[in-house]
Chains A and B, each alone.
Chain A
Amino acid sequence: MKVERKIQVAATPTEAFAKLSDVKVLASLLTGLMDWTATDEPNRFRTVFRAGPAPLGGEIQLEFWPEAGTVTWQSTKGVHQMGRWLVRPRDDGSEVVFRIFYHLDGGIASRLAEWVFARTVHRFMGIALTRLARSIEAQPPRRRRPVTA
């Protein structure tokens, strides 16, 4: 299953990539992330996501490609997944593309689960891109409307 979302940001590709290449910023973008711990291997992290009823554990290997404006990851444990952050130049700034490919072992039930799960993943990716855009454009986070009596 492939899920893709994109967003326009008012910053140069270099500025946008600088944000993405910071691992702490990258972790802060992801919704449902319960654990993000560096392992002994360089750029390898133990991750735990809240996915439906139970936490989803795994390990990912990050790779940075500054020339291509790309940050990718691939799972080394847990659910088979690949992800990509891609920064492209645009006339009025940059475009950040966020893609996730994932695969669940099994038959028809697994395809159905992928499809059901895709809706949540799609929503979480949208939130991550909005957070990234705010972070790059240095906008304050949206505040809740104060509760009136």
Chain B
Amino acid sequence: MENITDNQFTEWSQAIKNGDKESYSNFFRACYEHYVRFAYRYVKSKDQACDLVQEAFIKLWKNREQLDPAKSLKSYMFTIVRNLSLNHIRDHKNKLESIDDREISLDALIIHQEQNTNDSYIKQTVKVIKKLIKKLPERQREAFELSRFDGLQHDEIAEVMNISARTVNNHIVSACNTLREEYEILNRRDKVIAL
């Protein structure tokens, strides 16, 4: 999806509005996987993520006449997928799991890191980053991930999350501050352990 131009999205949007199934299918082929990954971040199940994104595409087709080609099709789909995902979480709440994940302390994290010395460096980094990101407040994390991992602009994120661009910016700046600080602390402790 990273390589698709805004123009392409506009073309698809126009064509889908006119009921062109060919373009609709092309859009699906090009972006399905990315949206599934996005939904997975919420629902944590591949099958469920696939189902939700298919539902989103069906919804897009049903409402195609209301499509506004001047607006970004890319973020419109993000919005639908996000709403469906949030609804799904709401209806299948499994709160315990997410709270447990969040309360892992830095110390536990470092011990964890030491125990897995067999893991490759990348594998370890991935674990560390995962924990750091999980510790961010939910809305900050959402905005940050949409910006970093999905490459959306701040105004697009504002549309997807239904908040002002200013709030998006605040969320992202706060998230970056936290990540920077926590990362520094980790690195400092790493050096101490190495000594």
Bound pair: A and B?
Answer: no
Query: Which B residues are closer than 8 A to A by beta carbons?
Result: none
Query: Which A residues are closer than 8 A to B by beta carbons?
Result: none
